[in-house]
Amino acid sequence: MKKIKPRTLSGFMELLPPEQVCFDTIIRRLRKSFSAYGYTSIDTPLMEAAEVLLAKGGGETEKQIYQLSKGDADLAIRYELTASLAKYVTLYYNELTFPFRRFEIGKVYRGERAQRGRFREFYQADIDIIGDGSLDVLNEAEIPSVIYSVFKALGLDSFVIHMNNRKVLSGLFEILGIGENSGDVMRIIDKLGKIGKEKVSEILTGDLGLSHSQANDVIEFITYQGDPFEILEKHKGQNDLYDTGVSELLALKTHLAAFGVPDTHFVIDLSIARGLDYYTGTVYETYLSDYPEVGAVCSGGRYDNLAECFTDRKMPGVGISIGLSRLFYILQEQGLLNDKFYSAPADVLIIPMTDELTHAIRLATSMREAGLRVQIYSENKKFKVKVAYADKLKIPYVVFLGEDEISKGLITVKDMTSGEQTTASASILTKGIKDKIETKDKALFS
């Protein structure tokens, strides 16, 4: 039979079991953090009618979208989760209760050239709060508070949530007389971190035709080094939108303290613009302080009209997206995935020492009923191979069950960490193992 070379497509993350355990732990913690704030999960299809998925226009991304036909249907595979959300809230509007807090953790696809740490298939974890007609600004403070608790739950401490308000920038542009160029200027400012302020200034005065004085005012504003409220104060009273933005930023700062986000973990950063036109209020970018070169690991903001391609109904919202596969890749690269993320596939391996297996199976069953994760090793291999199996998988306890133990109604347990061996009744040792596992879990996962 001709063999086919087994391979996984480049840019498609596929993990070995121990890494997968860590990834699953991350997802579990994300779900828990989102749930603590009352977000509910949804699970939208990966494939949609191309028309639905591309309704908003994919922009730069559009040429990366996987598309296919089946019968007479033009289908597309989702490249982010927002279009699916817009469809969902419009389609099920009558069944949903607003404000609608949802999270979705799912795979998305982009047919871009695969690079180190960039993926073609990757997980995004999105949270959004969608209002019906209106949405209170308090929600704009809730989102970074969720982010803070997510990153803390992942055992990270060196991260800072950078925040700005698009009203402030749009208002400033009106004050400076460049309001008509607002979208383009936002997109250039958004590149400040990547291309530096000389280059930004060059494009503003070149391509966008700003005067040197206008460009300087923009640059001075977005790169201001002191307390941002000093420079925010400078332009106050000249533009209503600007003034609203400033008071929203002030409220955000106050609320975040009440939400328990320490001021070491967020900063008002007037250079944060976000490239997309549809943001209208607070915008967010989260950076890992020790790895600034990886860029933002989580971004989002407030928008006023989620589903305008589908409905006239106004549905404002605020949300963020975490590029989960990329975040995982970084944690892995930096050696940040430790024992707190990993657990062995089983707590106990039972090695029967007799041909008759009934006692071993019964023991496994009773240990499982007690809440332990148990494997039986029944392959016909040398004793050494059997113990090596537990060792390789880091299974912490091995039970030996021989004639002698069975006749006496006892079992022998080896603690694989200490090497210590104990013989006693199954019920006593089951309880002992369970207590140790729970104590360890509590210490690790608290």
Residues 148-187 that bind a second copy (CB under 8 A): 149
Q: Which of residues 404-433 bind a second copy (CB under 8 A)?
A: none
Q: Which of residues 49-68 bind a second copy (CB under 8 A)?
A: 49, 51-52, 55, 66-68
Would you tell me how many other CB atoms lie within 10 Å of the CB of residue 97? 8
Q: How big is the site for a second copy, counted in residues (CB under 8 A)?
A: 103
Q: Which of 10-18, 159-167, 171-179, 195-203 is the region at the interface with a second copy (rule: CB under 8 A)?
A: 10-18
Q: Rounded CA gap, 71 and 2, in Å?
A: 32
Candidates 87, 162, 235, 274; binder of a second copy (CB under 8 A) is 87
Q: Which is nearer to a second copy, 291 or 342 (CB)?
A: 342
Candidates 152, 191, 197, 255; binder of a second copy (CB under 8 A) is 255
Q: Which of 162-170, 179-187, 328-336, 363-371 is the region at the interface with a second copy (rule: CB under 8 A)?
A: 363-371
Candidates 208, 309, 353, 444; binder of a second copy (CB under 8 A) is 309
Candidates 293, 312, 355, 420; binder of a second copy (CB under 8 A) is 312
Q: Which of 98-106, 155-163, 218-226, 239-247 is the region at the interface with a second copy (rule: CB under 8 A)?
A: 98-106
Q: Which is nearer to a second copy, 76 or 288 (CB)?
A: 76
Smallest distance from a second copy to CB 271, Å = 27
Q: Which is nearer to a second copy, 81 or 272 (CB)?
A: 81
Q: Which is nearer to a second copy, 103 or 173 (CB)?
A: 103
Q: Is 90 in the site for a second copy (CB under 8 A)?
A: yes
Q: Rounded CA gap, 302 and 281, in Å?
A: 5
Q: 398: number of CA atoms within 13 Å, CB side?
A: 25
**Which bin fits 64, alpha (ψ -120 to 50), beta or left (φ > 0)?**
alpha
DSSP letters, 273-331, are --S-TTEEEEEEEEEETT-GGG--SEEEEEES-TTTTT-SS---EEEEEEEHHHHHHHH
Would you tell me how many other CB atoms lie within 10 Å of the CB of residue 277? 14
Q: Rounded CA gap, 432 and 422, in Å?
A: 11
Nearest CA among 360, 406, 354, 346 for reference residue 380:
354
Candidates 314, 340, 368, 440; binder of a second copy (CB under 8 A) is 368
Q: Rounded CA gap, 261 and 255, in Å?
A: 9
Q: Is 258 in the site for a second copy (CB under 8 A)?
A: yes
Q: What angle do CA 307, 321, 73 make, to 5 degrees?
A: 50
Smallest distance from a second copy to CB 347, Å = 8
The three-class DSSP label of residue 102 is strand
Contact string 375-394 vs a second copy (x = CB under 8 A)? xx-xxx--------x--xx-
Q: Is 139 in the site for a second copy (CB under 8 A)?
A: yes
Candidates 21, 114, 175, 353; binder of a second copy (CB under 8 A) is 21
Nearest CA among 84, 136, 72 for reference residue 108:
84
The three-class DSSP label of residue 333 is helix
Smallest distance from a second copy to CB 209, Å = 29
Candidates 59, 62, 117, 136; binder of a second copy (CB under 8 A) is 136
Per-residue DSSP letter, 12: B
Q: Which is nearer to a second copy, 114 or 175 (CB)?
A: 114
The three-class DSSP label of residue 173 is helix
Smallest distance from a second copy to CB 174, Å = 24
Nearest CA among 331, 269, 343, 333 for reference residue 301:
269
Q: Which of residues 33-52 bind a second copy (CB under 8 A)?
A: 35-49, 51-52
Q: Is 134 in the site for a second copy (CB under 8 A)?
A: yes
Smallest distance from a second copy to CB 294, Å = 23
Q: Is 345 in the site for a second copy (CB under 8 A)?
A: yes
Nearest CA among 2, 27, 3 for reference residue 328:
27
Smallest distance from a second copy to CB 384, Å = 14
Per-residue DSSP letter, 137: T
Q: Which is nearer to a second copy, 75 or 189 (CB)?
A: 75
Tell me whether strands 397-401 and 374-376 are parallel, antiparallel or unpaired: unpaired
